[in-house]
Amino acid sequence: MRRPLEDVRVVAIEQFGAGPWATLQLADLGAEVIKIEDPSSGGDVGRYVPPYREGEDSLYFETFNRGKRSVSLDLRSPVGRAVFEDLVRNVDAVYSNLRGDQPAKLRITYEHLAPLNPRIVCCSLSGFGMTGPRRAEPAYDYVLQALTGWMSLTGEPSGPPVKSGLSLVDFSGGYVSALALLGGVWRARRDGVGCDCDTSLFETALSLLTYVGTWAASREHVTERRAESAHPSIVPFQAFRTADGWITVAAAKQKFWLGLCSALAPELAEDPRFADFEARAEHREELLSLLRPRFLAASTESLIARLAEAGVPCGPVNDVLGALEDPQVEARDAIVEYEHPVLGTVRHPASPLRLGTEYRRAPTRGEDTEAVLRELCGYDDDALARAREGGAFG
C-alpha cells in the first residue's frame, strides 16, 4: 500500500523542536518535506545540540528530521526569494515555526503567496499566534508551561512548581499544527482555495488544561497539587512507594477499586467511607493512610503481579532505559534503527502512527538543493548556476 501522504509536498521553514516535530509526523506518513535551511546561520540550530554531536550532525537533529530533504536557501536575497517562489508554485503547503510577527515580515502568509499558488496552505506555529499583544514575543516550552498554569499543577504540594520532564508544549503544538495543515490541504483540494493556519504554542497549552481549565473558567475552581502525583479528584489514582521502588495505580472505575481491594485490602471494599468516587475523594487521606503501608510492605514486581491479576491498571515507575526494555517494546517493534555515515547506528522510538512509515536518516545541510529544484521546478544547469551566482544558496 502507498503511504497516506505520498502525494503531499510541504516546504518547511523550521528549526529546533516544535516545528520539526510537526513536519516529522507528515514525513513519517509519506509526505515530501523540503526543509529550508539558512546558509548564513549554519542551518537548523538543532544540528548543533549536544550531547552526541559531530560537526553538523547530532542525535537531537536526527530525532526531529529523519526522512526529510534539505535545501540551502537564503530567503532574504532576491534570487533566493525567487527560488522559494518557484518552490511555492509546486507544493501544497508552506510550514513555519517562527515568532508570530515573522510570517508577514518574510511574506510567507497566504496573502503573499496566493498569487503564486491559490491552493497554498500557509501554516504558522508560533509562540503566541500572529495577532495580539504577544505576537512578537519569543516563546519556549518551559516559559509556556509556567505561563499557562502547567507548573502550578505539577510537583509536590510543599515543593516549588515543577515543569514536565519533556517539552510537551512544543510536541503538542507540533501535533496541533500538523493536524491544522492537513485540514487546510484537504479543504484546498476540495474547494480550490488555500488559507492561513495560525496556530500557537500558547493556545495549545491552554487547550491541554482540558477539564482543569473548564473547572476554572466555569466555576473559578483552583486545582491544588497533590502528593505522589495524585489525580485531583479520583482516589486512588497516583504513585505509591513500594519496598524497592515506586508503582502507579489508576482506580479510575469502580471495578478497578474493587479489584484493588481484592488484591491488597479486602476489608476496604465494604467500608462506607470508600463506597464510591465521592466518598473516596472526601476521605482521601484516611484511605491513603491505609493503603500506603500495604504498598510499602511488598516489592514492585509482586504488587504488579497481584494487581494485574485483579485487573487493576498499574505499572512501575521506570527510568527511560527501563521503559525501552519493556517486553511490549520488542513485541511491537517500537524501536527502529538505521546506519548514519557520521553517527553510526541510530535507534529511535518508532512513530506511533503505524501507517507504513519508512525510516531513513536526516539530510545533511543542503544535501537535496539541486535535486529538489530539478525535480520540482525544472531547473537545468544554467538555472542552478544563475541562482548560485546570485547568492540564493549562500
Which residues are known to be catalytic? 170
Sign of CA dihedral 238, 240, 245, 250: negative
Can you tell me whether residue 299 is helix, strand or coil?
coil
Nearest to 347 by CA among 317, 307, 377, 320: 320
- Number of Cβ within 10 Å of residue 19's Cβ equals 29
Q: Packing angle between helix 78-88 and helix 381-389, nearest 10 degrees?
A: 140
Half-sphere exposure of 247 (CA within 13 A, CB side): 27
User: Side chain identity at 8, as an amino acid letter?
Assistant: V
Sign of CA dihedral 272, 277, 283, 286: positive
Report whether 298 contacts 351 (CB < 8 A): no
Strands (E), the chain: 9-13, 32-37, 53-54, 57-58, 69-72, 93-96, 121-126, 195-200, 237-241, 246-250, 314-316, 335-340, 344-349
| Residues 200, 18: Cα–Cα separation, whole Å | 10
User: Side chain identity at 349, as an amino acid letter?
Assistant: P
Q: Please name the residues in contact with 75: beta carbons below 8 A apart, sequence gap of 6 or more.
A: 13, 36, 38, 81, 84, 106
Pull the grid cell for residue 205.
Answer: 497549552
Look up cell 479543504; give the residue: 187
Partners of 53 in the β-ladder:
58
